[in-house]
A and B are shown apart, each in its own frame.
Chain A
Amino acid sequence: DTGVSQDPRHKITKRGQNVTFRCDPISEHNRLYWYRQTLGQGPEFLTYFQNEAQLEKSRLLSDRFSAERPKGSFSTLEIQRTEQGDSAMYLCASSFGLLQETQYFGPGTRLLVL
């Protein structure tokens, strides 16, 4: 069990560019979550998957954001036409089980949009 991994760990991009982040959950975990965290705030929920199905998306997730988990294993989060307000830490978490599951976080991807 190597824990949740995320790639890249840091990303600097220019406004208007597209970026894609990857998350690999703990191997037996069937739920995968994406959160966003800005300085001085707690993480905010973006979306989550159970296996390959995307079950909920936050209103924070504009049309520029899309997430996939095609085979129920790793997930990608894409941001199109990035804006400076997208600068944040993007966190992925995974969990296993139907009741009272505990989420374990990856190291995060820190995005800076110039």
Chain B
Amino acid sequence: QKEVEQNSGPLSVPEGAIASLNCTYSDRGSQSFFWYRQYSGKSPELIMFIYSNGDKEDGRFTAQLNKASQYVSLLIRDSQPSDSATYLCAVAAGGTSYGKLTFGQGTILTVHP
């Protein structure tokens, strides 16, 4: 079992729709959870982080965390073609490995006009 799992997609949504991206993780000691966006050929760019159970909203983005289910999601409202990218879920370890990020393989999102 991979430590952080994402559906690789591709996920295709029409412009203006809600895109829903999901991620599960295996380490119950994980402390922090991040979503990064990565355009082709570029480095990851931080979108959001979440530490506590529940929802966290930032503009068109909402991150949701459920530690009991070991599940993190990212919702993108009013999707735009410029949101087309690979979305990486990353989980930060606890304990002696504190801060080290473990990434999922990424979900490719395509927003079509």
Contact = CB atoms under 8 A, between A and B. Distances in A.
Contact of A103 (B42, B101, B105): B101
Interface in B62-96: 88, 90, 92, 96
Nearest to A31: B99
Contacts, number: 59
B101 A105 contact: no
Interface of A: 31, 33, 35, 40-45, 48, 56, 89, 91, 93, 95, 100-108
Nearest to B2: A42
A107 B44 CA distance: 8
14 contacts: A33-B99, A40-B105, A40-B106, A42-B4, A42-B90, A42-B103, A43-B101, A44-B103, A100-B92, A101-B99, A102-B34, A103-B101, A104-B46, A105-B44
A33 B45 contact: no
B43 A106 contact: yes
Contacts of A93: 101
B89 to A, nearest CB: 8
Contact of A102 (B31, B46, B100, B102): B46
B61 interface: no
Contacts of A101: 99
A42 B32 contact: no
Given A40-B105, A43-B101, A43-B103, 7 more contacts: A41-B106, A42-B4, A56-B96, A56-B100, A102-B34, A103-B99, A105-B44
Nearest to B45: A105
